[in-house]
Amino acid sequence: MDLRDYLRVLSRRWRVIAIVALLGTAAGILTSVVATPEYRATTTLFASLQSGADTSQLIQGNSFTQARVQSYTDVATSPAVTKPVVKALRLDMTPTQLAARISAEAPLNTVLVRLTVTDTRAARAARISNAVATRFAQVIRELERPEKSKSPSPVRLTVTQPAAVPPAPSSPNTALNVALGLAVGLLLGLGLGVAVETVDTSMRDSKALAECLEGAGGPAVLSSIVQDPRAVRQPVSLRDDRHGLRAEGFRKLRVNLQFAEVDQRPKVIAVTSPLPREGKSSVSVNLAATLAEEGARVCLIDCDLRRPSIAPALGLVRDAGLTTVLVGRAELHQVLQSAGAFSVLTSGMIPPNPTQLLGSTYFGDLLHTLAEQFDHVVVDTPPVLPFADTAAMAPAIDGYLLVARAGRTSRSQVVDALRILQRVNVQVLGAVLNGAPARGEGEAYGYAYKYRPKQSAKARLTALVSSRSAAGVRSRGPAAKGHGAPVPVPVPVSAKTRP
């Protein structure tokens, strides 16, 4: 992985990295809270020779002392020092335990020895440090005294800086623990993000979907529809923001579909997806609205007889629709409803045998009739992988449009759905990536935010009041409750409405 790949992991998995980093920081704080405070008290001793009258002897003595003090540090933790200290201070520890709390150092090119004692009590740490220094000086004098001689030891250790009671604990170091926890958390989070990114086979952007389709011998990606939280409240993007990113994404889909088959343009287009909840119904609705934007006669059919969603999304009556016509209880013109610029044939009552119904000749004749009356027929179908409904209606379809959900649909699911559609000998016109991240689709989307018509303050206020008024009428109208005729939605003057 290069730097660009790591930056991509950071942009996609920043939540995981942030959570792990916060956990590491919390672990550092918790370590500081639960740790027992420890205090360090240090005593400094000066080593010197008691003999030497002239300068040369003093220089030799200084070199001798510097060489000897390096060995004195090991004596500080010997039983000869610790055992008398434990007995004299009546400490509740063994000499070995006391030795573990003593550290001695002799800086190079000096004749100083620093004895440091660590303890859970500040005053006791200072008292033990001073006692160890005193006993340490006595042991060194005894070791340096010539054997069987009553003369004093040539080496003398003098306390130059006795240990004082430390005002604050030396550990735990809260700042250091928090910094280490944050650093370790960031590293672990980055590693976890890289691991998740490696095993994640979902379609993250249109490039990944295009590579997947190319490897499986499938069609091209016709458009990417960016994620927009307003799509739940306003399913038709053209009515929400005519110049928004979602609306432009569906216009791009319309244009690419028109050039998918130049010789014989498909009239009956089935929109499907590998699994549920991938946005095929939203793509169907907006594709119908975008095709009707040019003035074409468009009919949208809800053929998802497993979980129909077109009627509630557009505020239409669901009980009378496709199944009502197929069982002979109503004529086609009696159940067609208007959604503004295009007509809608809702699902009707959910039948017990949707696969047989959609694979029947009656359904094929119905689509043929609609194809003669309308310029375009958009069919919202059930998901491909769980059900056989989509493949069963293949003889009546001119082409399929496969919808994949960014971050949800996996590579294997796209390939399996494509294989099923290819086996029914009906052309797959292209694929659509739904819910794509705006930042993950290149710099063109960032430019699209700014490239829109300038609007005066008065026009913006008028558009806002009109949209809220229309939304209020639709929510209070009889169609919202499923009673009576649907309330027409205002559309542009140039659009044709098919009753």
> Tell me, what amino acid is at 179?
A
The reported pLDDT for the residue numbered 155 is 80
Whether the CB-CB separation of 193 and 5 falls below 8 Å is answered with no
Tokens, residue 142:
């005894």
Helices within 35-76 (DSSP H only): 55-75
Task: List, in sequence order, every residue forming a beta bridge with 43; answer none if it has no partner.
Answer: 115
Q: What is 174-217 written as a DSSP string?
A: HHHHHHHHHHHHHHHHHHHHHHHHHH--B--SHHHHHHHHHHTT
* Three-state DSSP class for residue 457: helix
Q: Among 448, 371, 372, 383, which residue's Cα sits nearest to residue 409?
A: 383
- How many Cα atoms sit within 13 Å of 267 on the Cβ side? 14
Neighbours of 375 (CB within 10 A): 17
Q: Can you tell me the distance from the alpha carbon of 291 to that of 403, in angstroms, rounded to the nearest whole number?
A: 18
Whether the CB-CB separation of 84 and 135 falls below 8 Å is answered with yes
Q: What sign has the CA pseudo-torsion 475, 476, 480, 484?
A: negative
Average pLDDT of the chain to the nearest whole number: 83
Tokens, residue 183:
């650093």
Q: What is 217-273 written as a DSSP string?
A: T---EEEEEEP-GGGTT-S-HHHH-TTSHHHHHHHHHHHHHHTTSSSS--SEEEEE-
Whether the CB-CB separation of 383 and 411 falls below 8 Å is answered with no
Decide if pLDDT at 451 tops 80.
no
Task: List, in sequence order, every residue forming a beta bridge with 221; answer none if it has no partner.
Answer: 431
Least confident window among 52-61, 214-223, 345-354, 418-427:
52-61
Decide if pLDDT at 38 tops 60.
yes
Tokens, residue 270:
């089935």
Q: Can you tell me the distance from the alpha carbon of 75 to that of 139, in angstroms, rounded to the nearest whole number?
A: 8
* Sequence-ordered strand ranges (E) for 361-494: 376-380, 399-405, 428-436
Average pLDDT of the segment spanning 145-170: 82
pLDDT grade for 239, boundaries at 50, 70 and 90: confident
Average pLDDT of the segment spanning 101-129: 91
Cβ contacts of residue 133 below 8 Å, gap of 6+? 43, 45, 115, 159, 162, 163
Helices within 107-169 (DSSP H only): 122-144
Q: Can you tell me the distance from the alpha carbon of 49 to that of 227, in angstroms, rounded to the nearest whole number?
A: 83
Neighbours of 399 (CB within 10 A): 21
Cβ contacts of residue 275 below 8 Å, gap of 6+? 383, 385, 386, 409, 413
Whether the CB-CB separation of 345 and 321 falls below 8 Å is answered with yes
Whether the CB-CB separation of 402 and 371 falls below 8 Å is answered with no
**Residue 77: in which H helix or E strand, if any?**
none
Decide if pLDDT at 126 tops 80.
yes
pLDDT grade for 480, boundaries at 50, 70 and 90: very low
Tokens, residue 104:
């001695």
Decide if pLDDT at 450 tops 70.
no
Tokens, residue 249:
């994404």
Decide if pLDDT at 351 tops 60.
yes
Tokens, residue 383:
């998901």
- How many Cα atoms sit within 13 Å of 68 on the Cβ side? 18
> Tell me, what amino acid is at 142?
E
Helices vs strands, H then E, count in the chain = 21, 12
Starting from the edge strand earliest in sequence, which strands make up the sheet with 376-380, in order? 221-226, 428-436, 399-405, 268-272, 376-380, 298-302, 343-345, 337-338
Task: List, in sequence order, every residue forming a beta bridge with 47; answer none if it has no partner.
Answer: 157
pLDDT digits (tens, 9 = 90+) for 172-201: 888 999 999 999 999 998 888 888 777 777
User: pTM of the prediction?
Assistant: 0.61
pLDDT digits (tens, 9 = 90+) for 61-84: 566 677 778 888 889 999 999 999
**Residue 113: in which H helix or E strand, if any?**
strand 112-119
